[in-house]
């Protein structure tokens, strides 16, 4: 006999605490915002959105630098891919059938940690090598930091089991 959704949520709840679920909501929200920012930078790179809106910093210098490509792929494309993956997995983690899955916690923490370290690397490049700032990159780094902080609840959950 199949269970109704509220029952499934109630059954799964003891394994997945409120902090973890709130964290997944936070990750989904921040990664959606990050997806649009990275998408904007990618569309700009493709010449589809005209000049970059750049309230502070020197976005052109950063976007035209040799570090705007990582392993042959433009950095904004990495951002679009990463934020999409985080968004999809965090939403899956809010569905009753995947809520308690260990791989969801592992994937969210792993991707968030990678995104955080990658953002730290890019921010260090802006500060010490390129010596110019791109406001969108800074916002993206802040989002990646927020996502990483939310994902710490997943790490705690993985350690508990």
- The footprint of other proteins (CB under 8 A) covers 6-7, 9-10, 13, 21-22, 25, 28-29, 32-33, 35-36, 39-40, 43, 47-52, 54, 57-61, 64, 66, 94
DSSP state of 131: -
Q: Residue 25 or 156: which CB sits closer to other proteins? A: 25
The minimum distance between CB 4 and other proteins, in angstroms, equals 10
3-state helix, strand and coil shares in percent for the chain, rounded to the nearest 5:
75, 5, 25
The minimum distance between CB 150 and other proteins, in angstroms, equals 13
Q: Residue 112 or 130: which CB sits closer to other proteins? A: 130
The minimum distance between CB 49 and other proteins, in angstroms, equals 4
Q: Residue 94 or 101: which CB sits closer to other proteins? A: 94
73 φ/ψ angles, rounded to the nearest 5 degrees: -120, 135
The minimum distance between CB 25 and other proteins, in angstroms, equals 5
Q: Are 109 and 68 in contact (CB under 8 A)?
A: no
SS (H, E, C) 74-119: EHHHHHHHHHHHHHHHHHHCCCCCCCCCHHHHHHHHHHHHHHHHHH
Q: Residue 21 or 120: which CB sits closer to other proteins? A: 21
Paired residues of 74 in beta bridges: 69
């Amino acid at each position: 006999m199949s269970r109704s959704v509220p029952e499934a949520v109630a059954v799964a709840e003891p394994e997945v605490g409120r902090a973890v679920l709130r964290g997944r909501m936070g990750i989904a929200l921040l990664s959606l915002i990050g997806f649009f920012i990275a998408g904007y930078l990618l569309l700009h790179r493709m010449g589809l959105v005209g000049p970059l809106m750049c309230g502070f910093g020197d976005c052109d210098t950063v976007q035209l630098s040799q570090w705007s490509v990582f392993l042959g792929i433009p950095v904004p494309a990495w951002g679009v891919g990463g934020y999409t993956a985080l968004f999809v997995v965090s939403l899956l983690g809010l569905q009753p059938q995947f809520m308690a899955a260990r791989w969801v916690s592992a994937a969210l923490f792993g991707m968030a940690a990678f995104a955080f370290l990658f953002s730290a690397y890019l921010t260090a490049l802006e500060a010490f090598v390129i010596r110019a700032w791109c406001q969108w990159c800074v916002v993206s780094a802040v989002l990646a930091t927020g996502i990483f902080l939310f994902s710490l609840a997943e790490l705690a959950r993985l350690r508990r089991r």
